[in-house]
Amino acid sequence: MSTAQEQNDINAGGLTNKEMNGLNGVNGYDHAPGQNAPFQRKPYDYRGNPLAHINTGESVRLPAFGGEFQPGLYKNISDRKFANPAPLGLSAFALTTFVLSLINLGTRGLSEPNIVIGAAFAYGGLVQLLAGMWEMAIGNTFGATALSSYGGFWIGTAIILTPGGFEIISSLEADSPAPFLNSFGFYLMGWFIFTFLLLICTLRSTVAFFFLFFTLDLAFLMLGLAYLEGASSGAPHTGLLRAGGAFGILAAFAAWYNALAGIADTSNSFFIIPVAHFPWSEKGRENRSKVDNSEARAAQDV
Handedness of CA 119, 157, 125, 251 (dihedral sign): positive
pLDDT per residue as tens digits for the range 126-150: 999 999 999 999 889 999 999 999 9
pLDDT-derived band of residue 20, with 50, 70 and 90 as boundaries?
very low
**Residue 54, in any domain of the structure:** no
CA 243 remoteness from chain centre: 22
Higher pLDDT among residues 155 and 17, named by residue: 155
CB 231 within 8 A of CB 182: yes
CA distances from 165 to 98, 106, 162, 168, 169 (A): 24, 25, 6, 8, 10
Task: Provide, rounded to the nearest whole percent, the portion of the chain with pLDDT above 70.
Answer: 68
- Predicted pLDDT at 89: 96
> Residue 41: beta bridge partners?
none
Q: Band the pLDDT of 92: cuts 50, 70, 90.
A: very high
pLDDT in tens, 101-119: 999 999 998 888 889 999 9
Residues 102 and 164 in one domain: yes
Q: Provide the mean pLDDT of the chain.
A: 78
Residue 30 and residue 102 in one domain = no
Same domain as 239, residue 98:
yes
Sign for the pseudo-dihedral over CA of 72, 76, 80, 85: positive
Same domain, 142 and 30: no
> Cα–Cα distance between 43 and 45 in angstroms, integer?
6
200 within domain boundaries: yes
Confirm whether 14 is domain-assigned. yes
- Give the helix, strand, coil percentages of the chain, each rounded to 5: 60, 0, 40
Give the residue numbers spanning the domain of 7.
Answer: 1-41
Q: Which residues contact 250 (CB under 8 A, 6 or more apart)?
A: 211, 215, 219
140 plus 5 within the same structural domain: no
Q: Residue 65: beta bridge partners? A: 70
Do 32 and 136 reside in the same domain of the chain?
A: no
107 part of a folded domain? yes
Q: Are residues 34 and 161 in the same domain?
A: no
What does the pLDDT average to over 92-100? 97
pLDDT in tens, 222-276: 999 999 999 888 899 999 999 999 999 999 999 999 999 888 877 888 888 887 7
Percent of the chain residues topping a pLDDT of 90: 44
Per the domain annotation, does 197 fall within a domain?
yes
Which backbone phi and psi does 2 adopt, to 5 degrees? Answer: -90, 145
**Any domain includes 259:** yes
Residues 90 and 216 in one domain: yes
pLDDT band of residue 78 (cuts 50, 70, 90) is low
Between 221 and 235, residue with greater pLDDT:
221
Q: Is the pLDDT of residue 120 over 90?
A: yes
Tally of domains within the chain = 2
Check whether residue 98 and residue 224 sit in a common domain: yes
**Does 194 reside within a domain?**
yes
Do residues 27 and 100 both lie within one domain?
Answer: no
User: What sign does the CA torsion over 151, 156, 161, 165 have?
Assistant: positive
Rounded CA gap, 84 and 33, in Å?
Answer: 17
Residues 140 and 7 in one domain: no
Q: CB count, 10 Å around CB of 193?
A: 12
pLDDT of residue 264: 86
Within a domain: residue 173? yes
pLDDT at residue 187 greater than cutoff 90:
yes
For residues 230 and 94, state if they share a domain. yes
